[in-house]
Structure 1
Amino acid sequence: MEKRAVVQVLVVVIVGVLSWVEGRQYGLVCRVKDPSVVSGCNVFKDCLYELYPVEVAQNSMDIFGGHNRLFSLYGGPSSCGYFGKLIATPKGQQTLIETIKKQLLKSGFRGFEIQCDAVMAEVSQSIYASFLDLLRTQLGGGYIIAVSLKHIQLEQCLVNTLNSAVDLVIMPMDCTRDCNIQQLTNVQNAIAHGLDRQKIVLEVVVPSVLRCPLNTGASNLFTFIQKAGHEVLVQDLFGASLQLDRDDVTNVCGSGRFPLLRLLNFQLNGGSAVGGGSGMMTNGMGGGSGMMGGNGMMGGSGMMGNGVGSGSGSGGCSFTGFVRDTRDCSRFYSCNNGQ
């Protein structure tokens, strides 16, 4: 009798793993520019990658959980100009690659993001592509390489390199001016030029200062987040990115802590519950007791409880706690909820 019970449990477990592997999973990349803002928040459990400024890696600052940390290199006009001058010569390329390798080894981070595209770096796309090719060759396949493309018409040489040498291509969907007007021509053009759509991360850019309530007016962030998640699913992209320290960290607007992150995660899961709880979508997206209601996603006993979820209560590893290796999607290399 006991043996039969054990066999039944094993069958259930195996079926659970297979269904998770076969289902399409969308990645959530969580950017943090000021770690002190989210200090002590149990907010990273649903993040496939955590993206920090390089200073965090350099200073060995305390990182709040998570196994898949990336650091960002460069960014502003002056630093992008410096980056461009470095990669314009073979010697400069080699110097930068050695610096990146040392930082990866010292910090233990999983990979990094280059925030300057070829236009920002003021170099040709062929030079930019040659640097990325050399970078991948010398790093091997063990690290994640991400690049941000903000305003660039892709040439074929760079498309080929992005498809072969880069894991994540981060492209913006900006809500800093008017959240109601969005055209993803940059993403659509990149795909039309042959960029692998499942490398594209849609960066959801929200204002640095939030206006309450979050679901009204020209800055209707809830509608914007829903639209972003919808685009990821419709375009079948890799996933989406959000800057956590721009979210409502302390529940100023009354929708719970990190409402934008929770809504984006909800959208990436197809608008269906992934963590149990009660009444995730009881009466639809805008219903009184649905996602924003008392027992819904933003409520007290919904998917994320009051604020952010705490994962498995026992600290054990559930199957939804595993995250995929983006360079080999048949493997799972870490568990967010246990050892």
Structure 2
Amino acid sequence: MTIPRRPEDITPAWLGSVLGTEVTAVQVTAIGTGQTGATYRVAAEYPAGAGAPPTFAVKLPAQDDAVRERVAFGYLSEVGFYSEVCEHVAIPVPSCFHSEISSDGSDFVLLLADMAPAEQGDQIAGCSPAEAALAVEALAGLHGPSWCDQRWCDLPSIVMPKPGDAEAAKGLGDIAAMAAGITLDKLGGSVGDEDRDTLTTSMSLVGPWLMAVPQRFSLMHGDYRLDNLLFDPDRTHVTVVDWQTIGVGLPARDLAYFTATSLLPDDRAGVERELVERYHTALVGYGVTDYDAETCWHDYRLGVLQAPLLTTLGYAFAASTERGDEMILTMLHRGCRAIRELDAIELVRSYQASTPSTG
């Protein structure tokens, strides 16, 4: 059967065909308000004794055709993650029952386990240190099993520049500087002078930043933050979703992006050393060697430029919404403050002299 394009295309016949069992009825309801994709909860009914799950989460492209075409590569990345990557890593993700995508990426479907009653993190409210500890340990389950494994550099659905690609690093650096300018123009006086300066300066250094330590890499989530995490009600388990920005790069970029944007700044400053140590211990548990705790802390400081990079890239070329603007302002302020407190700009500049061609 064809890939469902709209929620009304998720019929009993379609669901039954991909599950390999008879489905007598479905009820489809929207989950969330994703701007680059659409997610639905599907309640299914079966003949007696079928034994199939009663509910699923189904991801489809954005219902706006213009958005659908613009982010098709992200759809290719997410389907690629579930079909080619997830079985090789240990990060907790929903089980995938079916995935399918068109050749151009504009139509796709993911049939995933329904994680209810797990609750989505709140990017604006921030998380507790205990929730952050769960998140950083889960993240090590992506980085550790893929640590410095060259095969992932050949994955066709990689979004970010591959380690050591100077031309691609410079290209993303140019886009980052442009995105920072567009973001500041859109937000106007809502961004304070100190954050404005930090954002502009850090985004002007993205080229040399990407080239700083290409010898350390792993698979990256790319957008590892609270809105993409589902916490069990008792806060003992976390599940990671939204894999449209998968890449290969310095692992601690994911780590620093999470702590910088998802913790309240005072909380982050008080617990980040402990969180980095917890993450490093988890990496060692996955067999990562020749990577000591102080090098991990160095990479964490370096990686924090991921916060304004992803924030501005995501915002500059998207339509503004009230919650979206508030979230971006919150993430930018938290990220820029972390950059200053971790002295990350000077750390990048210390590498810039040895990679003048990227800056």
Same fold (TM over 0.5): no
TM-score (norm 1): 0.27
TM-score (norm 2): 0.25
Q: Which has the higher contact order (CA 8 A, sep 6+)?
A: 2
